Amino acid sequence: MVERISYYQAPQQESDEAASLPLAHYFWMLSRHKWRLLLFVATAVAVTIFVSMRLTPYYESTATLDVDRLAPSGIIGQDATNARASSMSDSETFLATQIRLIQSDSVLRPVVQKFKLQAARPKNAPASSDEAPVTLPYLTIARPAKTYLLTIAFRSPNPVLAAEVSNAIANSYIDHSYRTRLNSSEKQARFIASQLEELKAKMERSSAALIQFEKDLNVISPEERTNIQSARLLQLNTEWTRAQADRVAREAAAKSARTGTLEALESLPQGDQIRRLSDRMAEEAERFAVIKTQYGPNWPDYKRAAAKLSELQREFGGLKASIAKRVDAEYREAVDREKGLQEAVNETKADLDKLNEKAVLYRSLKRDADADKTLYNDLDRKIKEAGINAGFQNSAIRLADLARPARSPIFPNVRTNAILAFAISLGLGIIVIFLIENLDHTLRDPDQIQRQLQTEVLGALPVVKAWRGHLPGVGEDGKRRNFFGSVRGQANTYEEAVRTLRDSILLPSAHNRPKSLLITSATPREGKTTTAVHLAVVHSQQRRKTLLIDSDLRRPGVYHHVGLANDKGMSNVVNGDANWRELLQVPDGLPYLHVLPAGPPSRRAADGVGETLSRILKEAEEDFDIVICDAPPLLGFAESLQIAALVDGVVVVALAGQTEKTAVASVIANLKRLKANVIGLALNEVRSDMSERYYYYGYYGKYYSRYYKPLSS
């Protein structure tokens, strides 16, 4: 046996498996189902147009209301001036409120009763109930953006009725607004009038209390008297402070006078007399001292000087006593004056406190009287204003544009419905197509298989409709016929696909070709036997000796395809009844092809296929260029795994559009675990609509019909 060449690739990273599909693949998916998609879209559009044309046409008329937020709600009073301030702050809320009011029962009920319209009722309301709020179907209230306009649109099969109902709703809304304001003004006036009598009595009581208080005080205004008393208290307090300062100064002078010292007396206000007299005494004393040194006591000058000094001393003593007496008298006078001022301040302060208490009470009475009088006057004025404004029909909401009968129906719009049906059905069809493709877990596209299973797709065998009902290579009479030449078109395409499969297996290893191949599948009825037979045929047509072994002893099928007998074969070799060379058969017209049939079906012999086939492969390498084995499906049969471990390469056949990816992935995983050489995957019964890679299959028949002549036997 030759050295094995591994074609199986190890799984790559998960990111490679999840590689995004090219955009062209999605366009191909759509083109694959284009006729179904077009039929679905055309049916949807046709049904939509048919249904739209059968529907009852509805006409819509629109009345426009102009909401003037700057218009006053009254002609006098505050209502005549407050519109502009409120219009800038709550316009959105105000307009939303008006829309809800138009849809209210109070506005719609008169219109419903007038035109005898069929109004919608709540689900839980009794059918005969007239108290439930009514709503009009086909009524639309809207506000154009960035405007103070409100549009009232109503739909009806009768265009005239639609216009009349729209105008009636607009007028009913205007009347309702007027009635609401009138009722509000009347209620306000009645309430104010009921409160006015009580307020009048209260005002009279407060005024009488104020007048009586003024009489008790015997003043017109206690506040003015309080101001006078405050000024007098301030003046007395100032004088009292000065008296205290004067008393302190005289008290200090009196204390100085009592000490009797010359320095203390000189510091008094009368200190100048004491100072002059003291200076005179000092001069006379000095003069007397000089005379005393010169003359005796009996000398006249001595006597005169002594008498003058004594006189000055007596005068000085009298002056001292007089000054001390005067200072003491002034001190007592200052004390008495301070005491008198203090008593006056205390008395004035007590009077002021009493007067302040009365002034507070007076102000309270006066404030109550003024407030009652002001409130009474305001309420009286508001009653008069409300009576005048109640009769003013505000023009803030005006019917700006009357609704007129429409010339053409607004519903149904056949063109719009058709366009919507086309867009929706197209989008839905595309979604369904993508969903079906994504939910399809069968093997279809080679690129997808290589990306997800990490294995090579060696070839794709197209479906041949002419073989349905009988085996390819066997005629209707049960005899073998030419495999490709007797059926033109699709069979020619199949022939080229088998040859492509052959070259995909052998050419990559031209210098080290595999000597043995196993053709198997994951599950039954996937075309493995047909593929093995035709692969052996095209290989033998290259004048290369080919051995085809039917190893499926449970359900043999090779002999049917080549038109040979199956009375003896592989089962006899396994049981030791014959040599394998003795049982070889050569089909007519294929001299280079030798076939070893399976022989009589034998489940017991299937267990020994592995050992027997190992011996056959060793012996056949010398005589044959290649040995092709047809074996049972890999899932569920043990002999297929034994054969896979013996041959040089394994080719897995899968039915395009039917075989599940998980089944093939399980097969490849099992082969990998056995270290079998998985050459690749062959897709069977491929149609051109299964992948953009198969578009060329449709051209083979035309090509062969012009230039290709069938093979002869």
Burial class (CB in 10 A: 0-12, 13-18, 19+), 298: exposed
- Decide: helix, strand or coil at residue 343: helix
Asked whether the CA dihedral 87, 90, 91, 94 is positive or negative, the reply is negative
- Mean pLDDT value of segment 24-45: 83
Categorise residue 260: left if φ over 0, alpha if ψ from -120 to 50, beta otherwise: left
Q: How confident is the model at residue 140 (pLDDT cuts 50, 70, 90)?
A: very high
String of b and e for 512-551 (b: at least 16 CB within 10 Å)?
ebbbbbbbbbbbeebbbbbbbbbbbbbbbbeeebbbbbbb
- Mean pLDDT value of segment 650-673: 84
Distance set, CA 669 to CA 518, 521, 665, 673, 675 (Å): 16, 13, 6, 6, 10
| Residue 267: per-residue pLDDT | 58
Q: Does residue 235 carry a pLDDT above 90?
A: no
Asked if residue 601 has a cis previous peptide bond (ω within 30° of 0), the answer is: no
| Residue 627: per-residue pLDDT | 93
293 versus 108: the higher-pLDDT residue is 108
Break the chain down into helix, strand, coil percent, rounded to 5. 60, 10, 30
How far apart are alpha carbons 263 and 267 in whole angstroms? 6
Q: Does residue 603 carry a pLDDT above 50?
A: yes
Q: How confident is the model at residue 23 (pLDDT cuts 50, 70, 90)?
A: confident
Instruction: Provide CB contacts within 8 A for 457, sequence distance 6+.
Output: 446, 449, 450, 680, 681, 682, 683
How far apart are alpha carbons 675 and 6 in whole angstroms? 9
Q: How confident is the model at residue 38 (pLDDT cuts 50, 70, 90)?
A: very high
Please give the distance of CA 308 from its chain centroid, rounded to a whole number.
126
417 versus 384: the higher-pLDDT residue is 417
User: What is the per-residue pLDDT across 442-458, written as a single tens digit (0 to 9) for each?
Assistant: 776 676 777 777 788 88
| Residue 420: per-residue pLDDT | 93
| Residue 71: per-residue pLDDT | 59
Identity (one letter) of the amino acid at 308?
K
User: 615 is written with which tokens?
Assistant: 């011996």
| Residue 269: per-residue pLDDT | 61
| Residue 489: per-residue pLDDT | 46
Instruction: Provide CB contacts within 8 A for 538, sequence distance 6+.
Output: 495, 498, 499, 502
How far apart are alpha carbons 436 and 441 in whole angstroms? 10
| Beta-carbon-side half-sphere exposure of residue 23 (alpha carbons within 13 Å) | 0
Distance set, CA 2 to CA 8, 642, 646 (Å): 17, 18, 11
Contact criterion met (CB below 8 Å) for 289 and 233: no
User: What is the per-residue pLDDT across 43-67, written as a single tens digit (0 to 9) for each?
Assistant: 999 999 999 889 999 999 999 999 8
- Mean pLDDT value of segment 647-673: 85
How far apart are alpha carbons 189 and 380 in whole angstroms? 10
How far apart are alpha carbons 668 and 645 in whole angstroms? 13
| Residue 450: per-residue pLDDT | 72
Q: Which domains does the chain have, with CATH numbers?
A: 20-53+412-438 (no CATH), 222-390 (1.10.287), 443-707 (3.40.50.300)
Q: How confident is the model at residue 505 (pLDDT cuts 50, 70, 90)?
A: confident
- Mean pLDDT value of segment 224-248: 76
Q: Does residue 11 carry a pLDDT above 50?
A: no
- Mean pLDDT value of segment 637-665: 85
| Residue 3: per-residue pLDDT | 46
For the chain, give me the number of helices (H) and strands (E)? Answer: 22, 11
Asked whether the CA dihedral 255, 256, 261, 265 is positive or negative, the reply is negative
Angle (deg, nearest 10), helices 661-673 and 446-453: 50
Number of residues written out for the chain? 713
Contact criterion met (CB below 8 Å) for 706 and 480: no
For the sheet with 139-142, list strands across it: 139-142, 149-156, 59-67, 397-401
| Residue 423: per-residue pLDDT | 94
Q: Does residue 9 carry a pLDDT above 90?
A: no
How far apart are alpha carbons 160 and 282 in whole angstroms? 141
Asked if residue 405 has a cis previous peptide bond (ω within 30° of 0), the answer is: no
DSSP structure class, residue 5: -
How far apart are alpha carbons 428 and 154 in whole angstroms? 33
- For residue 612, the tally of other CB atoms under 10 A from its CB is 18
Share of the chain above pLDDT 70, in %: 74
| Residue 39: per-residue pLDDT | 94
- Mean pLDDT value of segment 148-172: 93
Parallel/antiparallel/unpaired status of strands 149-156 and 59-67: antiparallel
List the alpha helices (DSSP H) in 464-556.
490-506, 528-540
User: 162 is written with which tokens?
Assistant: 């639609």
User: What is the per-residue pLDDT across 198-232, written as a single tens digit (0 to 9) for each?
Assistant: 777 777 777 777 777 767 666 556 666 667 767 77
- Decide: helix, strand or coil at residue 339: helix
| Residue 169: per-residue pLDDT | 94
| Residue 710: per-residue pLDDT | 43
Contact criterion met (CB below 8 Å) for 170 and 65: yes
- Mean pLDDT value of segment 425-441: 83
- For residue 351, the tally of other CB atoms under 10 A from its CB is 14
Instruction: Provide CB contacts within 8 A for 82, sequence distance 6+.
Output: 72
Least confident of 168-172, 399-403, 588-592, 639-643: 639-643
Average pLDDT over the chain reads 77
476 versus 241: the higher-pLDDT residue is 241
pTM for the model stands at 0.49
Q: Does residue 639 carry a pLDDT above 90?
A: no
Q: How confident is the model at residue 259 (pLDDT cuts 50, 70, 90)?
A: low
Identity (one letter) of the amino acid at 354?
K
Q: Which residue has the tokens 């390498």?
A: 621
The separation between the first and the last C-alpha atoms of the chain, rounded to the nearest angstrom, is 33
Q: Which residue has the tokens 């320095």?
A: 263
DSSP structure class, residue 480: B
DSSP structure class, residue 513: -
Q: Does residue 113 carry a pLDDT above 60?
A: yes
